[in-house]
Structure 1
Amino acid sequence: MKIIVPMAGRGSRLRPHTLTVPKPLIPIAGKPIVHRLVEDIAKVLDEKVEEVAFIIGQDFGEKVEKDLLEIAQKMGAKGTIYYQDKPLGTGHAIMCAKDSLEGPAVIAYADTLFKADFTLDKDADAVIWVKQVENPSAYGVVKLNDKNQITDLVEKPEDFVSDLAVIGIYYFKDVAVLKGELQNVLDQNIIRGGEYQINDGIEAMKQKGKIFVPGQVDEWMDCGNKNVTVETNGRMLSFLHQDGEKLIADSVKIINSEITEPCFIGENVELVNAKIGPNVSIGNGCKITDATIKNSLIQNESVVKNAKLDNAMIGSHAKFDGNFTQISIGDYSVLE
C-alpha cells in the first residue's frame, strides 16, 4: 500500500505561519499536520504502508524534504519526494508522482485531519472518503444509488444533491488506472478553472465501469486559516486526551503554575506564574511567564510573558510581551 500526499501549496490563508514552513508541517497537538494525517490513514488501512510519496514545491528547501522523509521512515515506509513546479490543479499534482502510481494507494491532500472508525472496502475499485455536513452547497458532494455506490460528483450544488462532502482522501485498488485517465486529461488539455482536476480522471473511471463507494468519517478537521487551525488543535487534543495519550513531557518545569487539560506541552518547557489550558499546545523549549493561555497554539522555542491569550497562534522562536488576546504572529516575530 502507498500513500500519495500532494502538498505543493504553501497555504496562503495561514500566513504568516506558512511564510517559513509549509502548512502541512504546522504542528497540531505537537505533531505536524501531515504526520498525523498519514498515521491516521495507516490506522484505517490496517496494513503495512510501503511508501509515502510527497509532492511539494521546489522552493520548500532541504530541511522540509528531510522532515518529510523522516515521517515516512518513522512509519517504516520508503519516503519519496516529487515536485510540482506550477500550481496546475489536483490532477496535475498527482501526475507529478506518476512513477509511484502503481498498485493500491491512498491519495490524501495534506490540509485536513480526520477521525474515522470504518473498514475500508478493498474489493471496490475505489473509495472516496466523505463527511456528512450541514451546508453541502459549500462543498463538493457525492450522490449515491441504492447500492451505496457513488454515481455523481457535484461541486458546490445550488440545489440539494447530497449532504456527503468529499474531504480530499481517496483509495484506489490500482492507482495506475487513475494515472492512465489523468494522463488523458493532460494530453487532451481538459482544464476547469485553469487547472487539471482529479474529478475528471475519476469520472472517466466511472464511465468505464469502475465502482466507487463512500467511506464516511466521524470527524473532519480543517487547517485552512488561523481560527480553524486553533479550533482543530483543541479538538485533536480532546481526542488524544480521551484516548489516554501522554501529552505533557516529563521535562516540563512547572513553577507556581497550573494546567487545565487537555493540553500538549513539549520537552523543556518552563511555566512560571502561568495558567495554561484548556486546548493549548506549547512546543519544545518555550518559556511562558506571568501568562494566562487557553485555546491557543504556540510552536517551538518561543517566549511569552505578561500575556492573556485566547484563540492565539504563535510561531517558533517568537517573543511576545503584551496585552493583546487573539494574536497571530509567525516565526521569529518580536512584540515587546
Structure 2
Amino acid sequence: MTLYFASVLPGLEYVLSNEINTKLNDSEIIQINRGKVFFTTTEPFTCLSSLKLADNLFQVIDQFQIGPHKKHLSQISERISKLDLDFINDKDLYWVNASRKGKQTYSRFEIATKAMEGINKHYPNWNIGTSQNHQIEFRIDIEHHDVIFSHRLTDATFRFRNQTRRFSRASLLPTVAHAMVWLSDPKSTDIFVDPCCGSGTILSERATYPANQIVGGDISDVVTNVAKSNLDDLKVQMNVWDGRELPFTNGCVDKIVTNLPFGKQISPDEDLELFNHHIMNEICRVLKPSGKAVILSESVDQLFWEAKRLGLFCLEYYPLSLKGLNPTLFVFEKQDEQKNK
C-alpha cells in the first residue's frame, strides 16, 4: 500500500474522502487535516487521476519530527539525504516547496533550502531548477513538530482538466463544481439543470457522468456564449433565460446544481435577498418530489429560512473558504408529500 495525500478546498475534505472511497476499490482514509486527505491504495496513478475533487495529488515519501529552532534544520538535510528517490523517473530539474505551521524560528524558505541540500547530498547529479522551471517537485510540510516530505504527482493543469477554458466573472474552479455535482448523486436517468450556469463549469463537470438531459442557462447572452465555447463537444442544452422563470413544468427536474450570485456577482441595482427568494421558489417548483438541489451561496441564514418555508430538507451543508469569501454549500431535498402522509 502506498500513502498519498490529496489537497482540496478547505471545507470539502469529507466530500473528497467519499469520492476516494467510492472510486478507489482498495483505499483507506488514514487522516483528514484542513485542506488535505491522507489515504492508502494499491491502485495505479491512472486510477488516482479519476479523483475530480482533488486540487493536487502527492505521494508521501517520509514522515518524521523536528525541533522548532534553526539549530534543528540540519535534521531535515540529514534525513532526506538518506532517502531512496530512485523511483522518480524524470531526474532533470527539481524543486522543493515548503510550508510551516507553528512557532518555529526558521522560515519556509530555509526549510526548502535544507531539503534541497539533502537531495543534493544523495543525488549530486540532479540539478536544482527554479520555482517556475522544474520537472520534479517535492513538498515538505511542517506542522508544529511533524514533518511530511512528499513528491507532487500533478501540476496546475490537473485541476483544470488539462483544458483551455474561458471564464466569466466569478467562475467556479472545476474541483468545486465537481464537488457540487458529486453531492447531487448523479444518475444516468437525471434531468439536470443549472439555472445560473455562468461559464458552464458545473455543466461541464456533470457531463462527465451519464444523464438523461443536461440543461443550463443564464440571463446574459455574453455569459452563455462563454459557456457554449467551453461546452462545444458536450451534449448540453444552453439557454438565455432568467433563472427565476424557468421553462419547465412543475416537478419535472431531478437535480438542480447552481452557484447563486453573491458578493460582487450581482448588479448593484438588484436586491440580492429578493433575487434569492424568487429563485428558491422556482427551484422548488420545478424539482421532482425527492429531487435534490445543491446550491452554493453566501446568504446562509436566508437559504435556511427559504428552504424551511418551501419544504426543502437540508441533508448536508459545508462552509467553505473560497477566494477570500465564506459561502456555504447546501444539499437540499424536496420533501415528497405523498411519502410523508
User: Which structure: larger Rg?
Assistant: 2
TM-score, length basis structure 2: 0.31
TM-score by length of 1: 0.31
